[in-house]
Structure 1
Amino acid sequence: MKKAYLSIDIEEWYHLDYLKTYQVNKDEVETIPQIFNFLDMLDKLNIKATFFTLAELAYKHADILREIKDRGHVIGCHGLDHELLYNKTNAEFKEQIVEGKKMLDSVLGEEVVKGYRASCFSMDRKKLDILEECGYSYDSSYISFAKHPLYGSLDLSGYQKIEDLTYQKDNFLEFEIPTYQIGKYNLPISGGGYLRLLPYPLISFLIRKYFKDHNNFILYLHPFELTDINLPFPKEMPVKDKFRASVGRKGNLRKLEKVLLMLLNEGVEFRTFEQELKVRDGNGASFSYGM
């Protein structure tokens, strides 16, 4: 069976790491409130997704998060803020993942947050172990793409690869972001700027090629990539960074819909990460969901 997991990192456009050195008006434009066209599209396609959410935005967008949950989607934690994890001590990380989960659960009205994704995939092994110790059940911060300066290098020794993109240690699962190997290099093809940059024919070709040798796939996006609303980038921002943030945003929601339809038409089953937890729990695994 071929499976795909659709995930969205709920953060704002100004959380892009290469915008942090500039002064921006964070209240001038917000992209998270523009997410309803995307949610309506998922309803039409009957696809449920996982929304990894910055806890610092939880109270501001409480109504949106509750609607996402009410539509049958899953809410995970994307951290308390969007600072890279290797800029945090282990003690700071532990305090923040506990606090972030409490904030999100409080907004959602029940204890539901079980999963985590690090900002810019900046997870390391010690913090992954802390995540498990604090009661989280899964993480999706692993990507094999050392060429990117922000992505972490995650040691998964002691984990067993139980299927494509899925690793297990004790009761904890790690989900890997897929890459496509061309020669000796791994090319990210599953979301973010890569999905915006590459035209649909190339994206669909690469995903089909990937699925010939693999059974699982993970897509990841951000709210600012699901709307073409103008973003107030600072004037002094280099052209290169403006291009990185803007390329392919116009029409990207339609491109994504074509990708999702292509996968559905080829018999791919969409799951949330938590559905995978429940399946494995039903097969005899003993997962602990509490903090």
Structure 2
Amino acid sequence: MTKPILLSFDIEEFDIPEEYGEKVDEKKQFDVSLQGLKAVLSLIDALEIKATFFVTANFAIHHEAIIREISQKHEIASHGFYHSSFSLEDLEKSRRTLEQITNSRVTGFRMPRLMEIDEQALHTAGYQYNSSMNPTYIPGRYNNFFKQRTAYYSHEIWNIPVSVTPKIRFPLFWLSFKNFPLLWMQIATQRTLQHDSYLCIYFHPWEFTDIQDFHLPNFIKRRSGQGMIDRLRKYLSWLQKQGKFMTFSDFIHSRNYR
């Protein structure tokens, strides 16, 4: 059976410099993300790859046209209303906002910064799946080493964690992709695909904009802009030989999840 590959991008305000003490005005936050988003769309369209875009409603309101354009080829899911603040009311509010903009149903959610979110609240807000967990241990960020690492059903919600390797749970997320050799990422990816029979990976569009001038740690700024685009092109071209790209919703439906 062809192995599903779930590629996703978190479209959000570029607010990560504020975690390190640098204030960035909102227009600049949007501009940085928008520039990288256009580069990402050009790449995956050229490769004829389908993806899921988790979008903050705040970004979508400011850039409705490009979000509607994305929804014609890819899946739009919610990334909350704002990236730097959250309330339970944002769950339904962000979903409805995205549905109004795209004129399509929104069934998926990912919590900003992959923080914990109540599954029952997601179900009540009208979602079918959640991809808000990185099942690994990273000091100061994630403490999920002993949580289930593959897709599971709970509280009427399908949970699709970000992929990590079996046993040692090496995370296959954007920071690993930036900081480890591409060959290592390919080996780790292939091992995970063979073990789990699917893959779930994610990036941020702002990674594909040159962010070298911001006051960020080198492990975040590394390989930004064109260098990151070139690296992603090589990785995705290789991944096309390993399985089939599909949206999160298609993945659930193909497995008869529900």
Q: Which residue of 2 aligns with 1:196?
A: 178
Q: Which residue of 2 aligns with 1:224?
A: 206
Question: Could you report, residue by residue, the CA deviation over 1:28-82 in whole angstroms, capped at 9, with x for unpaired residues?
Answer: 4622322223212212222110000011111111111011112x10000001112
Q: Which residue of 1 aligns with 2:157?
A: 172
Find out whether 1:117 has 2:116 as its counterpart.
Answer: no
Query: How does 1:45-64 map onto structure 2 within 5 Å?
Result: 45-64=47-66
- Distance change (3 Å), C-alpha of 1:211 and 1:28: closer
Q: Which residue of 2 aligns with 1:25?
A: 25
The match for 1:205 among 187, 202, 207 is 187
Find out whether 1:101 has 2:101 as its counterpart.
Answer: no
Question: Could you report, residue by residue, the CA deviation over 1:78-111 in whole angstroms, capped at 9, with x for unpaired residues?
Answer: 0111237xxx6xxx31x11111112111211x24
Shift of 1:179: 1.3
- Distance change (3 Å), C-alpha of 1:133 and 1:5: same
Find out whether 1:279 has 2:254 as its counterpart.
Answer: yes
Q: Which residue of 2 aligns with 1:136?
A: 127
Please say if residues 12 and 33 of structure 2, whose CA atoms lie closer than 8 Å, have aligned partners that are also in contact.
Answer: yes
Please say if residues 13 and 83 of structure 2, whose CA atoms lie closer than 8 Å, have aligned partners that are also in contact.
Answer: no
Find out whether 1:36 has 2:27 as its counterpart.
Answer: no
- Distance change (3 Å), C-alpha of 1:175 and 1:129: same
Q: Percent identity?
A: 24
Shift of 1:155: 9.6
What are the ranges of 5 or more consecutive residues in structure 1 without an aligned counterpart?
287-291
CA distance in structure 2 between the aligned counterparts of 1:128 and 1:172, rounded to whole angstroms: 7
Shift of 1:7: 0.4
Find out whether 1:215 has 2:209 as its counterpart.
Answer: no
| Secondary structure at the counterpart of residue 95 of structure 2 | helix
Shift of 1:220: 0.2
Query: Highest CA radius of gyration, 1 or 2?
Result: 1
Q: Which residue of 1 aligns with 2:142?
A: 151
CA distance in structure 2 between the aligned counterparts of 1:4 and 1:103, rounded to whole angstroms: 28
Please report the TM-score for the alignment, with normalisation by the length of structure 1: 0.78
Please say if residues 123 and 155 of structure 2, whose CA atoms lie closer than 8 Å, have aligned partners that are also in contact.
Answer: no
Question: How many residues are treated as equivalent by the alignment?
Answer: 254
Q: Which residue of 2 aligns with 1:256?
A: 232
- Distance change (3 Å), C-alpha of 1:118 and 1:152: farther
Q: Which residue of 2 aligns with 1:289?
A: none
Give 1 or 2: higher strand fraction: 1
The match for 2:244 among 260, 263, 269 is 269
Question: Could you report, residue by residue, the CA deviation over 1:114-133 in whole angstroms, capped at 9, with x for unpaired residues?
Answer: 10001111014xx2221012
CA distance in structure 2 between the aligned counterparts of 1:192 and 1:202, rounded to whole angstroms: 14
- Distance change (3 Å), C-alpha of 1:17 and 1:136: farther
Please say if residues 123 and 154 of structure 1, whose CA atoms lie closer than 8 Å, have aligned partners that are also in contact.
Answer: no
- Distance change (3 Å), C-alpha of 1:130 and 1:168: same
CA distance in structure 2 between the aligned counterparts of 1:181 and 1:33, rounded to whole angstroms: 35
CA distance in structure 2 between the aligned counterparts of 1:105 and 1:135, rounded to whole angstroms: 12
CA distance in structure 2 between the aligned counterparts of 1:10 and 1:78, rounded to whole angstroms: 8
Question: Could you report, residue by residue, the CA deviation over 1:245-270 in whole angstroms, capped at 9, with x for unpaired residues?
Answer: 2012141112112111112123x011
**Paired AA for residue 73 in structure 1:** H
**Paired AA for residue 186 in structure 1:** R
CA distance in structure 2 between the aligned counterparts of 1:221 and 1:15, rounded to whole angstroms: 14
Structural RMSD (CA) = 2.5
**Paired AA for residue 96 in structure 2:** K
Please say if residues 120 and 151 of structure 1, whose CA atoms lie closer than 8 Å, have aligned partners that are also in contact.
Answer: no
